[in-house]
Amino acid sequence: MRGFRTFLLRGNVVDLAVGFVIGVAFGAVVTALVKDLVTPLIAAVFGKPDFGALTFTINNSKFLYGDFINAVVAFVLVAAVIYYLVVVPYTALVSRARKEPPADPTTKKCPECLSAIPIQAKRCAFCAQPQPV
C-alpha to C-alpha distance for 19 and 31, rounded to whole angstroms: 18
Contacts of 105 (CB under 8 A, 6+ apart): 119
Distances (CA, A) of 22 to 16, 19, 38, 103: 10, 5, 22, 39
Taking only the tens place, the pLDDT of each residue in 48-70 is 667 777 889 999 999 988 888 87
Segments in the chain forming alpha helices (H): 2-9, 11-33, 39-46, 65-82, 88-97
- Assign domain 2-97 to a CATH class: mainly alpha
Taking only the tens place, the pLDDT of each residue in 111-128 is 889 999 998 888 998 898
Closest CA to 80 of 68, 88, 71: 88
Taking only the tens place, the pLDDT of each residue in 7-46 is 767 767 767 877 888 888 888 887 788 778 877 777 777 7
**What is the reported pTM?**
0.50
